[in-house]
Amino acid sequence: MTERHSGPPRISRRIFLAGAAATAVTLAACSRDTTARVSTDRIAAAEATRPHTGRTVAVELSPGHAQLDLGGTRAATFAYGDVLPGPLIRANAGDELAVTVKNRLGHSTSVHWHGIALRNDMDGAAPASPDIETGTDFVYRFSVPHPGTYWAHPHTGLDADTGLYLPIIIDDPAEPGDYDAEWVVVLDDWTDGVGSTPQQVYDGLRGSSMPGMGGMHDMDSMPGMTGMGSSTLLGGDAGDVMYPYYLINGRIPAAPTTFTAKPGQRLRIRIINAGSDTAFRVALAGHRMTVTHTDGFPVQPIDVDAVLVGMGERYDVIVTAGDGVFPLVAMAEGKDAVARALLSTGAGAAPEPGFQPPELGGVVATVDMFTATPEVDLGVVEPDIALSVQLSGAMMKYDWKINGQAFADTEPLTIKEGQRATLTFNNMSMMWHPMHLHGHTFQVINRDGRRGARKDTVVVLPMQRLTVDVVADNPGEWMLHCHNTYHQEAGMMTSLNYVA
Ligand SMILES: [Cu+2]
């Protein structure tokens, strides 16, 4: 594993706590106030404003070595136990989660609670929260303010492209729950333990830029890096890595999981893309779907045939189940391969594993089609500050950057608590990027100026600008990065820091 993105110097939790007060004072005195750590008082004050039910949901996770069965194919990898995805974590909005992580990986890890507007010092991303050294335990303790579909994964090196991921569902006890059954669908692109390791994939991508180190021609002969195609939905190049397998709920298409329901039932399907380099186009054969939420937050419902889900994004859809056996197919965009699971409500046989239902070629939901529901719209307010994020880089050099710099040389963006900001992504590259901001759910402004969906991860197309509204209501130091694991590792990451 490369150590480059494992965050700041490894310091033990004990030393970090003991040194926290002194660190804040020292850094506040620095001329470069972008590095001033937000005080624990302000983090605690923000935590106090969140809803609290008084209930705590306790969970234990043991990240470690695992031999996973992907459906007749075994993979030696890292996972949260023997299961893929890792165990579902479920709580009500306002509950406290107390997650004990026992790190048995043999190297440092972290657990990032993707999409949850939680207290900064429990975010699971350095430097706001320290990495967990191997052989030690750490308890993440935080309240979960908003209902929705979330997930968790490490924020350390390339471990995001292993079996270390799990779904999180935060329920709203007041929600009408206008559905009969719920199906959690986690998508992934898979190589670890069956093809190249993530480190080999990364070295191959980076090596292509170094004279004498191989280059693009050799990449064609490397398993896992050939046959790349383009996507009209993504404006060109769809991805950098051809994976040996694409998975739904930990299974290859030839050995799919089956979800059983009754004909006529309304199913809520919560789709999570846990992949590293793959956008999926998802359709349920023989069905239309009504998109109701993205990244946990409700949108004005739209009926579509399929939905495009970038890495880190979530979409919730409602379908009315037909009678029979139907493949839920996640086509790896631009990669001519599929992942799948089956919906079974009656008699019937599943089509062959590579089957692509016609719905994939129908109306495909993309982010610009959506509008937040009025109750989660951030409202039109004159912004206090305009933040700008330029995305650059190219496949050949594999030099992905933000505002001209690669992490950790990127200059953090700064904001003051209480401010309203516009954050404009200006993509100067020929590649799309799923941009993710920790600790906040921004509101997309669609290209026609219409107010869009509330999101924490948004697809920014090649050579396009995209603006989102941000409310600075969660003090801390928040990572802002591309959710392509390899782009992130190459440096497409910065932070949004609250300053006094
Ligand atoms: Cu990217």
Cα separation, 400 vs 260, in Å, equals 43
Reduced to 3 states (helix: H, G, I; strand: E, B; else coil), residue 75 is: strand
CA of 81 to the centre of ligand 1 (A): 30
CA of 432 to the centre of ligand 1 (A): 6
Q: Residue-wise pLDDT tens for the chain (500 aa)?
A: 333 333 333 322 222 222 233 333 333 333 344 555 788 899 999 999 999 999 999 999 999 999 999 999 999 999 999 999 999 999 999 999 999 999 999 999 999 999 999 999 999 999 999 999 999 999 999 999 999 999 999 999 999 999 999 999 999 988 877 899 999 999 999 999 999 999 999 999 998 544 433 333 334 434 444 446 789 999 999 999 999 999 999 999 999 999 999 999 999 999 999 999 999 999 999 999 999 999 999 999 999 999 999 999 999 999 999 999 999 999 999 999 999 999 999 999 999 999 999 999 999 999 999 999 999 999 999 999 999 999 999 988 999 999 999 999 999 999 999 999 999 999 999 999 999 999 999 999 998 899 999 999 999 999 999 999 999 999 999 999 999 999 999 999 999 999 98
Q: In 433-492, which ranges are E strands?
A: 433-437, 442-445, 451-455, 457-460, 465-471, 477-482
pTM across the whole model: 0.91
CA of 434 to the centre of ligand 1 (A): 6
CA of 30 to the centre of ligand 1 (A): 32
What was the pLDDT predicted at 174? 87
CA of 238 to the centre of ligand 1 (A): 11
Q: In 245-304, which ranges are E strands?
A: 245-248, 258-260, 266-273, 280-284, 289-294, 297-304
CA 177 to chain centre: 25
Reduced to 3 states (helix: H, G, I; strand: E, B; else coil), residue 395 is: coil
CA of 85 to the centre of ligand 1 (A): 24
What was the pLDDT predicted at 38? 81
CA of 482 to the centre of ligand 1 (A): 5
- In the DSSP assignment, the letter for residue 18 is H
CA of 402 to the centre of ligand 1 (A): 10
Beta bridge partners of 283: 329
Q: In 384-471, which ranges are E strands?
A: 385-392, 401-402, 413-415, 420-427, 433-437, 442-445, 451-455, 457-460, 465-471
CA of 393 to the centre of ligand 1 (A): 9
Q: Which H, E and C letters describe 317-349, residue by residue? A: EEEECCCCEEEEEEEECCCCEEEEEEEECCCCC
CA of 133 to the centre of ligand 1 (A): 28
CA 176 to chain centre: 27
CA torsion sign for 15, 18, 22, 24 is: positive
Which token pair is 459?
Answer: 């697809």
CA of 400 to the centre of ligand 1 (A): 7
CA 316 to chain centre: 15
CB atoms within 10 A of CB 22: 9
CA torsion sign for 365, 367, 370, 372 is: positive
Beta bridge partners of 113: 152
CA of 487 to the centre of ligand 1 (A): 5
Sequence-distant (6+) residues with CB within 8 A of 203 are none
CA of 405 to the centre of ligand 1 (A): 14
Torsion of CA 42, 44, 50, 51, to 10 degrees: -160
Which token pair is 184?
Answer: 């959690």
Cα separation, 277 vs 202, in Å, equals 11
Which token pair is 296?
Answer: 């946990």
Angle at CA of residue 121, ends 52 and 202, nearest 5°: 125
The bridge status of strand 413-415 relative to strand 493-498 is parallel
Diameter of the chain measured on Cα atoms: 71
Cα separation, 79 vs 164, in Å, equals 5
CA of 466 to the centre of ligand 1 (A): 14
Q: Return the exposure string of 71-81: e unless at least 16 CB atoms fall within 10 Å of the residue's CB, then b.
A: bebebebbbbb
Cβ proximity of 454 and 460 under 8 Å:
no
Cα separation, 286 vs 323, in Å, equals 10
CA of 99 to the centre of ligand 1 (A): 30
Cβ proximity of 259 and 415 under 8 Å:
no
CA separation, residue 442 to residues 43, 369, 418, 486 (Å): 20, 16, 14, 24
CA of 262 to the centre of ligand 1 (A): 41
CA of 31 to the centre of ligand 1 (A): 32
What was the pLDDT predicted at 39? 84
Reduced to 3 states (helix: H, G, I; strand: E, B; else coil), residue 2 is: coil
CA of 191 to the centre of ligand 1 (A): 19
Cα separation, 496 vs 500, in Å, equals 13
CA of 484 to the centre of ligand 1 (A): 5
What was the pLDDT predicted at 36? 56
Q: How many residues does the chain have?
A: 500
CA of 483 to the centre of ligand 1 (A): 6
Cβ proximity of 218 and 311 under 8 Å:
no
